Amino acid sequence: MGPLKGVKIVELAGIGPGPMCAMLLADMGADIVRVDRTEDARLGMGHNPKGELRNRGRPNVAVNLKTPQGVETVLRLIDQADGLIEGYRPGVMERLGLGPDICLKRNPKLIFGRMTGWGQDGPMANVAGHDINYISIVGALHAIGPKDGPPVVPLNLVGDFGGGGLYLAMGLLAGIIEARTSGKGQVIDCAMTEGAASLMTMFYGLKAMGRWKETRESNTIDGGAHYYNVYRAKDGKYVSVGCGEARFYALMLEKIGLGDAQDLPPQLDQAQWPAMKQRLQKIFLTKTRDEWAALMEGTDACFSPVLNFEESIQHPHNVARNAFVTVDGFTQPAPAPRFERTKSEIRMPPSVQGEDTDVTLKAWGFSDAEIAALHKVGAVKQNVRD
Amino acid sequence: MGPLAGVRIVEIAGIGPGPMCAMLLADMGADVVRVDRTEAADLGMKRDPKGDLLNRGRPSVAVDLKSKEGVETVLRMIDQADAVIEGFRPGVMERLGLGPDICLKRNAKLVFGRMTGWGQSGPLAHAAGHDINYISIVGALHAIGPAGGAPVPPLNLVGDFGGGALYLAMGVLAGIIEARTSGKGQVIDCAMTEGAASLMTIFYAMKAMGRWSEERGTNAIDGGSHYYTVYETKDGNYVSVGSIEGKFYAELLQKTGLDKVAGLPAQSDAAKWPEMRERLSKIFLSKTRDEWCAIMEGSDVCFAPILNLEESMAHPHNVARGSFVKVDGIMQPAPAPRFDRTKCEIQKPPSVPGEDTDKALAAWGFSAAEITALHKAGVVKQNPRV
């Protein structure tokens, strides 16, 4: 059981970063209840809820938040919780009767975690948006991509996940540590714009010192340098090379047959980077990806084959470390990071909406009679796993 | 003062994710001490450490780890710490005499955070590498880039920062919560490969359900669709559009005038995405970025201008929220996320290695006589601020 055993969290079902945050905490052993809607929230998209891996590790309770009994049910869960995760637009929780004032009055040590794209205030606060928009206004998207092309979308790893789910998870745990000493909770305003900006901190520093160019593919680690880049191999697959340090760079050159070349410019001569990239590209085209891997992987040349999902699951290093685990037929990334004594684990596969309503309400202190009464007024719903 | 006031952390100086993790914890109020090498200042790196923003918020102590007394000095600080952060290759801390066995024997409740690219075990554990390599073997790099082109490195946001620093910060806090109950610490093995894999969790799920193509740039949110992508504008700038939901998509069509066109394909008709993209590309090229902002920003199109670092700091939303703050003359991303009661702050600008040696040692319980003796033996070094 993970380190967060006994930490109780209420998650109001949303999309994107909120579920990711809850997944991380559940993987680490937190006792989480996911409060879902009673209406069918599948939106006709034909989703298989069993494959919604972000929902793994915690029970799903369907509650009708439009009924006073439903709201009171959630408040009773929140009364017992260390933390709350919600991702509505600003003001929605307040309108539901679940705002921070009400919740913190009932449970003064509650950490009220609010996950949004733009934050709780500011001119954009009430505007719709997604990851791609949030990372647009903090310089992250602008910096990713080729020099002669448009910015490239890094999936939703920088806003939703890295800059969202992770910042809220970290913030909640910091808040809980403080609340356990002070006895006082608080609100966390977690904006994906600012999480993404925080991830970009180093680049703001480099820029201020004149060491970062605002042109894509013109810096050391944005694809500008030949020694930190991706190359196509003979079979159309790709390899990555990331050797900043002189001794690793020397080893890389040796491995690709340039160890004795007399006409090489200094590694850090930026004017020569484009020419060096072309030169290295020609060389990498002479062998297949796996031939290069046989030559370079495991050495200090800072080399890797660029693998797709299928290949990643089978890579010997990932296999040796059990980096992927299979649960309920789905092979998926294992909980991270790894704790030596209190081991994290995936305690259950993703639940279907309302699948665990009765058993979970019971575990959170509701009597059978109370649960029956909630069903009678349509405040909660128990669904079956199909 | 942030929520982690009173939490004490010893950071053994490294590069990339370790310092970023320490910055996040320091921003949240933790009492972090950075242990630099005595040689660090003499490496001939002429750059001004003021711009190394990942080092902000904590003092730097220069200690010679090759001397017995130096190691004992660090152990005395670790004795008082909730956690230690280190990012050496596996086995180095052990060789220095600072391995987990020794540290945990002296301080049973210590959380020993180990940050590496490949993790503490497995066939690649001892190989050199960088972000671009780590994200290669978990499917992340493969998935990012334009259709038909090479993968594009998303700076080092996915390995070093999102998949590294954030996972370690979260893990260390979870470990501290547990240690404060159980009285027992433990080792955290935080591998960037696995943090990056964890960030990719939903894509593994989508792939398993046949809803993700491993061909870059052909999926809904990897730049493949016309409604979640980047468009060039008349002035050579770019805008992002993320209109996933039907009602937001309708607003996109309305604001681009396409709502008046008969016979448009369904939004989800992937076969028509390239055609629709071409149509929208032409439309977006007809106005400048700022003209599009006037039309779309603040609406529910899910739109944003793509800003560089300079422009991001001046964007009205970021200005209104104070998303960037100026410390020691350098504008930088503010601490994230935001706590409403225990407000985070940048405790100090980045230190020069060894700048705070005497003061920090005194704060960690070393007497003036002890500090003098350490200087005399050449074990610690006090450097001036340049």
Determine contact, residues A60/A34, Cβ cutoff 8 Å: yes
CB atoms B180 and A318 under 8 Å: no
CB atoms B181 and A6 under 8 Å: yes
Determine contact, residues A169/A195, Cβ cutoff 8 Å: no
Specify the pLDDT at position B385: 80
- Residue of A23, A104, A152 best to disrupt the B interface, most CBs of B under 10 A: A152
Q: Could you tell me how many residues make up chain B?
A: 386
Give the integer Cα–Cα distance in Å for B124 and B118: 6
Q: Quick one: angle between helices B17-27 and B166-182, nearest 10? A: 60
CB atoms A238 and B142 under 8 Å: yes
Using a cut of 0.95, tell me whether the model's pTM lies above it.
yes
Could you report the predicted ipTM of this complex, rounded to two decimals? 0.96
Residues 6+ apart with CB under 8 A from B128: A243, A245, A248, A299, A300, A301, A302
Task: Quote the DSSP letter at residue A53.
Answer: G
Give the integer Cα–Cα distance in Å for A208 and B132: 24
Q: Which of A330, A331, A337 sits opposite B171 (nearest CB)?
A: A337
Q: Cα separations (Å) of B217 from A366, B152, B223, B259, B262? A: 49, 11, 5, 26, 28
Q: Quick one: angle between helices A192-199 and A201-208, nearest 10? A: 60
Specify the pLDDT at position B41: 46
Kindly report the nearest CA distance between residue A372 and chain B, in angstroms: 36
Give the integer Cα–Cα distance in Å for A381 and A374: 9
Look at residue A103 and tell me whether its pLDDT is greater than 80. yes
Tokens 């969290």 sit at which residue? A9
- Kindly report which listed range (A37-41, A253-257, A373-377, B373-377) carries the lowest average pLDDT score: A37-41
CB atoms B127 and A330 under 8 Å: no
Residues 6+ apart with CB under 8 A from B355: B59, B60, B382, B383, B384, B385
- Kindly report which listed range (A251-265, A286-300, A334-348, B39-53) carries the lowest average pLDDT score: B39-53
CA atoms within 13 A on the CB side of B180: 19
Chain A partners within 8 Å of B144 (Cβ):
152-155
- Percent composition of chain A: helix, strand, coil (DSSP 3-state, to 5): 40, 15, 45
Structure tokens at A126: 């009430």
Kindly report the nearest CA distance between residue A225 and chain B, in angstroms: 12
Q: Residues 69-108, chain A: which have Cβ within 8 Å of B?
A: none
Taking alpha carbons only, the member of B257, B92, B115, B262 closest to residue B195 is B115
DSSP bridge partners of A12? A35
Q: Cα separations (Å) of A18 from A217, A381, B11, B245? A: 33, 22, 30, 18
Q: Using CB atoms within 10 Å of the CB of residue B384, give its burial: 0 to 12 exposed, 13 to 18 middle, 19+ buried.
A: exposed
Structure tokens at B296: 């779309």
pLDDT tens string, chain B, 386 residues long: the values are: 899 999 999 999 998 999 999 999 999 999 999 999 997 544 444 567 889 999 999 999 999 999 999 999 999 999 999 999 999 999 999 999 999 999 999 999 999 999 999 999 999 999 999 999 999 999 999 999 999 999 999 999 999 999 999 999 999 999 999 999 999 999 999 999 999 999 999 999 999 999 999 999 999 999 999 999 999 999 999 999 999 999 999 999 999 999 999 999 999 999 999 999 999 999 999 999 999 999 999 999 999 999 999 999 999 999 999 999 999 999 999 999 999 999 999 999 999 999 999 999 999 999 999 999 999 999 999 998 87
Residues 6+ apart with CB under 8 A from B273: B224, B225, B226
Give the integer Cα–Cα distance in Å for A357 and A74: 12
Confidence of residue A15 (pLDDT cuts 50, 70, 90): confident
Structure tokens at B22: 């320490």
Chain B CB within 8 Å of residue A325 CB? no
pLDDT digits (tens, 9 = 90+) for A327-370: 999 999 999 999 999 999 999 999 999 999 999 999 999 999 99
Q: Which of B51, B145, B199 sits opposite A162 (nearest CB)?
A: B199
Task: Quote the DSSP letter at residue B40.
Answer: G
Q: By CA distance, what is A205's nearest residue in B?
A: B51
- List alpha helices for chain B, DSSP H: 17-27, 68-79, 92-96, 100-106, 131-134, 166-182, 192-199, 201-208, 246-255, 273-284, 289-296, 309-314, 316-321, 357-363, 368-376
State the sign of the Cα–Cα–Cα–Cα dihedral A322, A327, A331, A332. Answer: negative
Q: Cα separations (Å) of B41 from B257, B262, B352? A: 60, 68, 8
pLDDT digits (tens, 9 = 90+) for A190-222: 999 999 999 999 999 999 999 999 999 999 999
Cis peptide leading into B337, omega within 30 of 0?
yes
CB atoms B309 and A207 under 8 Å: yes
Q: Identify the H or E element spanning A86.
A: strand A83-86
Answer yes or no: B130 catalytic.
yes
Catalytic residue among B160, B222, B356, B358: B160
State the sign of the Cα–Cα–Cα–Cα dihedral A246, B350, B174, A167. Answer: negative
Specify the pLDDT at position B46: 55
Residue A111 has phi, psi (to 5 degrees) of -100, 115
CB atoms B153 and A230 under 8 Å: yes
Chain centroid, CA B200 distance in Å:
16
Catalytic residue among B79, B130, B315, B375: B130
Q: Cα separations (Å) of A177 from A79, A88, B301? A: 18, 25, 39
Residues 6+ apart with CB under 8 A from A86: A11, A12, A14, A18, A93, A98, A112, A113, A114, A115
Specify the pLDDT at position B72: 98
Residues 6+ apart with CB under 8 A from B202: A20, A52, A53, A54
Structure tokens at B216: 């870059």
CB atoms A161 and B199 under 8 Å: yes
Residue A332 has phi, psi (to 5 degrees) of -145, 160
Give the integer Cα–Cα distance in Å for A167 and B25: 11
Kindly report the nearest CA distance between residue B369 and chain A, in angstroms: 35
Chain B CB within 8 Å of residue A183 CB? no
Residues 6+ apart with CB under 8 A from A250: A259
Tokens 């279907």 sit at which residue? A352
Residue B63 has phi, psi (to 5 degrees) of -130, 140
Kindly report the nearest CA distance between residue B69 and chain A, in angstroms: 29
Structure tokens at A349: 């596969």
Chain A partners within 8 Å of B50 (Cβ):
209
Chain A partners within 8 Å of B117 (Cβ):
none
Cis peptide leading into B353, omega within 30 of 0?
no
CA atoms within 13 A on the CB side of B220: 14
Specify the pLDDT at position B287: 98
Q: Which of A170, A201, A308 sits opposite B54 (nearest CB)?
A: A201
CB atoms A139 and B311 under 8 Å: yes
Chain B CB within 8 Å of residue A248 CB? yes
The percent of residues in chain A predicted with pLDDT above 90, rounded, is: 95
Specify the pLDDT at position B386: 72
